[in-house]
Amino acid sequence: MRDWLWMSAGDLGRGIGAGEIDPLALAQAYLEAIDAHPAHDRIYSVVTAERALAEAGAAGARAKAGQRLGPLDGVPVSWKDLYDSAGVATEAGSALLKGRVPDRDARVLQAATQAGLVCLGKTHMSELAFSGLGLNPVTETPPCVNDAGAVPGGSSSGAAASVAFGLAACGIGSDTGGSVRIPSAWNDLVGLKTTAGRVSLQGVVPLCARFDTVGPLARNVEDCALMLAALEGGKAADLRGASLKDVRFAALQNVVLEDVRGAPMAGYRSAVERLRAAGALVENIEAPEVTEAMTMSGILYTSEAYGTWGELIEASPEKMFAPILERFRSGKDFRAADYVAAWQRLEALRADWNARVAGYDAVLMPSAPILPPNLERLMKYADYYTTENLLALRNTRVGNLMGLSVMTLPTGVPSCGIMLCGKPYGEERLLRVAAAAEAALS
């Protein structure tokens, strides 16, 4: 049973379908592992054991009757603490929302339940999802699988830790500026950022609704494909026969290669060479529209974030971690006219980008320019916190600003990932390309 904890969600589903794995025993194995893990309170904010066992029991009965609801029916997963779950605290890692208990599940949790997935509970996250580091002294900071003294990446920090430490088959996170991809990269997982607007945000605590996206953190590309289908109530992308033959990649040169530190750059360069060796064409490109879009990040993100949360924040600012409070407040003085103009300009820049990369299957870049920073140093030095947080999210933010579907894959260098940026609403094609890249990189 211990081996079950490290199997992919797809393999667990196939084992259930073949009668080799009992969903109830599987759920019990995960719940026992969670309870026994020394960091379980730092990873899970709530464990929904009663729900998990009931859902697993029902999945087992369906399996015996030959009436499984889908390929992941009976597979246990975790949910970031910003997805509403009926009767269970959903506080988005913030003391401002302490005691918030919704009366219904988020739409994506409903869809996953209808596909037979088993809800293990809710995972810790950065405060109101507004940090890429995963540091949260208000609630808990989950561990990083590669460095006990480092932060795990955020804001889907507990989602990543739940999978990396064998306490969930898949974690459901969210990504507004990199919050699925940074913790995935730093914990050697595969992460999918979906296109904004593709997956329902109903019942999801917002940060910046125009950028917020739902996405899985998983062990492999197949699990991301299966999980996306479950979240949408659709059919998973067909990954059979995926190959890099005739695949064209663009390697972005401006912005994303600046100040990349030694290990992340080594991992990225090695990964690019392995993609080439597997038959892919890789061409370097410059995209000036990315440079310009980056200058507008402040107004686009912080204006919406403060507009969403400002009133609640100012009623109890003492409840917030000071750097997060400061980041929210940085959006309060922008003019509405400038915010509208920035969005209009961003739409034009997105059109420029889409035209530039139209002939490529994906655009490559390092997932993060840095390794996971030291937790104690982040708490001690405010300047270090600010620079590391902004640098951590810089590359991932390209995908959000340009409105793309994006995946991060492990490079083989611990805590170093490579991003494949696909087309808007192009997840199915991106997943096929990523599956072929995964095979080349592994």
For residue 243, being part of any structural domain is answered with no
Phi then psi for residue 228, to 5 deg, are: -60, -45
What six digits make up the tokens of 368? 């993060």
H or E segment at 265?
Answer: helix 262-277
Q: Give pLDDT, residue 390.
A: 87
Chain Cα centroid distance, residue 120: 18
Look-up of token digits 């959903």: 90
The mean pLDDT of 125-133, rounded to a whole number, is 97
Mean pLDDT computed over every residue of the chain: 98
Q: What is the pLDDT of residues 183-233, one digit of tens each?
A: 999 999 999 999 999 999 999 999 999 999 999 999 999 999 999 999 999
Residues 365, 272: one domain? yes
The catalytic residue among 80, 122, 193, 423 is 80
- Tell me the CATH number at 405: 3.90.1300.10
Domain of residue 200: give its range.
2-232
Q: Report which of 156, 157, 193 is spatially closest to residue 408, judged by C-alpha positions.
A: 193
Q: Give how many domains the chain has, as a whole number.
A: 2
Q: Give pLDDT, residue 252.
A: 98
What six digits make up the tokens of 145? 């699988």
Residues 281, 381: one domain? yes
Q: What is the pLDDT of residues 42-67, one digit of tens each?
A: 999 999 999 999 999 999 999 999 99
pLDDT at residue 236 is higher than 80: yes
Residues 223, 269: one domain? no
Residues 90, 154: one domain? yes
Residues 327, 210: one domain? no
For residue 310, being part of any structural domain is answered with no
Q: What is the pLDDT of residues 54-108, one digit of tens each?
A: 999 999 999 999 999 999 999 999 999 999 999 999 999 999 999 999 999 999 9
423 catalytic residue (yes or no): no
pLDDT at residue 261 is higher than 80: yes
pLDDT exceeding 70 applies to what percent of the chain? 100
pLDDT at residue 1 is higher than 70: no
Phi then psi for residue 193, to 5 deg, are: -95, 120
Q: Give pLDDT, residue 411.
A: 98
Sign of CA dihedral 86, 50, 180, 427: negative
243 catalytic residue (yes or no): no
The catalytic residue among 179, 184, 297, 405 is 179
Q: What is the pLDDT of residues 242-256, one digit of tens each?
A: 999 999 999 999 999
For residue 305, being part of any structural domain is answered with no
Residues 52, 112: one domain? yes
For residue 315, being part of any structural domain is answered with no
Please give the Cα distance from 410 to 367 (Å, whole number): 9
Residues 214, 259: one domain? no
Residues 166, 97: one domain? yes
Please give the Cα distance from 80 to 279 (Å, whole number): 38
| 383 burial type by CB count under 10 A (0-12 exposed, 13-18 middle, 19+ buried) | exposed
Residues 224, 275: one domain? no
Residues 228, 252: one domain? no
Residues 164, 261: one domain? no
User: What is the pLDDT confidence band of residue 427, given thresholds at 50, 70 and 90?
Assistant: very high
For residue 117, being part of any structural domain is answered with yes
Q: Give pLDDT, residue 2.
A: 67
pLDDT at residue 305 is higher than 80: yes
Please give the Cα distance from 335 to 373 (Å, whole number): 34
80 catalytic residue (yes or no): yes
pLDDT at residue 324 is higher than 80: yes
The catalytic residue among 8, 85, 155, 174 is 155
Domain boundary, last residue among 201, 232, 263 = 232
Q: Give pLDDT, residue 162.
A: 99
pLDDT at residue 344 is higher than 70: yes
Residues 193, 277: one domain? no
